[in-house]
Structure 1
């Protein structure tokens, strides 16, 4: 395990194509300090250049996934310019997750509140322990969760997300799954196994196809319907020219397992 990232506030472990990133401020419930945000930004930049990386699992140490911004640190720097840069920095980190060419899975336990809930919503996939709870609770301290609202409202319907934002109420993992904030809510003891199953499903797919697909997925969501189809058609045509697509189709026709050429094969 690499423990040299920003004085070990962010841990990284590489395991056969899976990059595990572990928020490591357990005493602060993994609050997103300036230092932790910087560490995440640097690590996402490094992962984006790592040809061996196939997916990322983001988790938290201690009793919580992430309790949002470090409010104590924020109160210690009462300057508008600081707050503007802090929230812009956090927004860059969230966008870096979607800019990565590989899937990012949030492994959620404990609480995910405010910017921690934003972090879950920004990940491509999320699996939560049944005991996990979610909230955008800044309103309780007089601060509307404006930046978390961006990610939340892109996962959860307008009325449900606005209700969470103006009341600050917590929802449980089952509700989060029903509302689309997470993919699955699983028994606490099954959380690691559920994440492992999901990464295994990803690792046997074509790396090239996933990289084409993730970039296309988020870009087309911002387009008008006709433009989205035109763009997706062009991406799919280029994907068809990849060696992996030829191999995958041939394997399907020949009723055998494919052997991906891009980044080598992770098939069993």
Structure 2
């Protein structure tokens, strides 16, 4: 295990990388330091062939409280009132969220506590999310005069417009069951089974061809931004390339021959 003050990292024998936010004192806020650590961690995970799936978990009662407001407030002391600093932090945070989406490895959020503002954005940016049924979610910026505009990007790509706008306009906290109904998380489970449930899903995904998973994840996010005809053209081209891959030939052959496939991730 590699560890530091705010982020823990553990890669198991099945290729599941567990990243754990470990700044409970600050409610695992996305401080500048935390954002840098996360960005580095996802960059390394994406290029490490030993990593097959990433689980993003957290220690403490809060999964992630969003940006560190004390840190942001301190930035106002600059001559420009904080404009350059705020722009840099928002770009850094947006880069981390996009790094999760563009990471070729599937990313699962394991949400054990409250996820608010950019913390809710963090959950929404992950490919999958399993939450304890005691977890809660909100985009509460409107309570402090700051609309959650960047969390809105990830949120609006996970739930319907009206659900997203309700969260953004009211700032209300919602429970895990409601979040599951809305599609913000995949499922809500008892806290004592959260890690077990997340691990089971991670292991199931890790058993697949990593080439196939990377191909599919990339195509999913690419086609989502296209028109319907363009999406079908793009997906068809991806399928052709995928069919020519060694693992697709092996997987189809194994299915026909009724045997377990032997992946080589190529």
> Which TM bucket (shorter chain)?
over 0.9
Are 1:138 and 2:134 an aligned pair?
no
Q: Indicate the residue corresponding to 1:76 in structure 2.
A: 74
For the residues of structure 1 that align with 2:265 and 2:74, how far apart are their CA atoms? Answer: 49
| Deviation (angstroms), 1:196 | 1.0
For the residues of structure 2 that align with 1:128 and 1:68, how far apart are their CA atoms? Answer: 17
For the residues of structure 2 that align with 1:88 and 1:234, how far apart are their CA atoms? Answer: 33
Match of 1:89 among 78, 87, 92: 92
| Deviation (angstroms), 1:174 | 0.3
Match of 2:191 among 188, 193, 200: 188
For the residues of structure 1 that align with 2:38 and 2:207, how far apart are their CA atoms? Answer: 27
In structure 1, runs of 5+ residues without a counterpart are: 264-268
Are 1:204 and 2:207 an aligned pair?
yes
For the residues of structure 2 that align with 1:29 and 1:8, how far apart are their CA atoms? Answer: 13
Q: Indicate the residue corresponding to 2:103 in structure 1.
A: 100
Match of 1:220 among 217, 220, 223: 223
Match of 1:175 among 168, 175, 178: 178
Counterpart contact for 2:45–2:105, Cα < 8 Å: no
The list of structure 1 runs, each at least 4 consecutive aligned residues, that deviate by more than 4 angstroms after superposition, is none
The DSSP-based 3-state class of the residue aligned with 1:65 is strand
For the residues of structure 1 that align with 2:5 and 2:244, how far apart are their CA atoms? Answer: 43
| Deviation (angstroms), 1:51 | 0.9
| Deviation (angstroms), 1:85 | 1.0
Q: Indicate the residue corresponding to 1:13 in structure 2.
A: 10
The DSSP-based 3-state class of the residue aligned with 1:57 is strand
| Deviation (angstroms), 1:66 | 0.3
Residue pairs, 1:107-122, within 5 angstroms: 107-122=110-125
Further displaced range: 195-204 or 126-135: 195-204
TM norm structure 2: 0.96
Q: Indicate the residue corresponding to 1:46 in structure 2.
A: 44
Q: Indicate the residue corresponding to 2:79 in structure 1.
A: none
For the residues of structure 2 that align with 1:159 and 1:217, how far apart are their CA atoms? Answer: 23
For the residues of structure 1 that align with 2:211 and 2:35, how far apart are their CA atoms? Answer: 29
For the residues of structure 2 that align with 1:145 and 1:262, how far apart are their CA atoms? Answer: 39
Q: Indicate the residue corresponding to 2:22 in structure 1.
A: 24
- What RMSD, in angstroms, separates the aligned Cα atoms of the two structures? 0.9
Corresponding pairs, count? 260
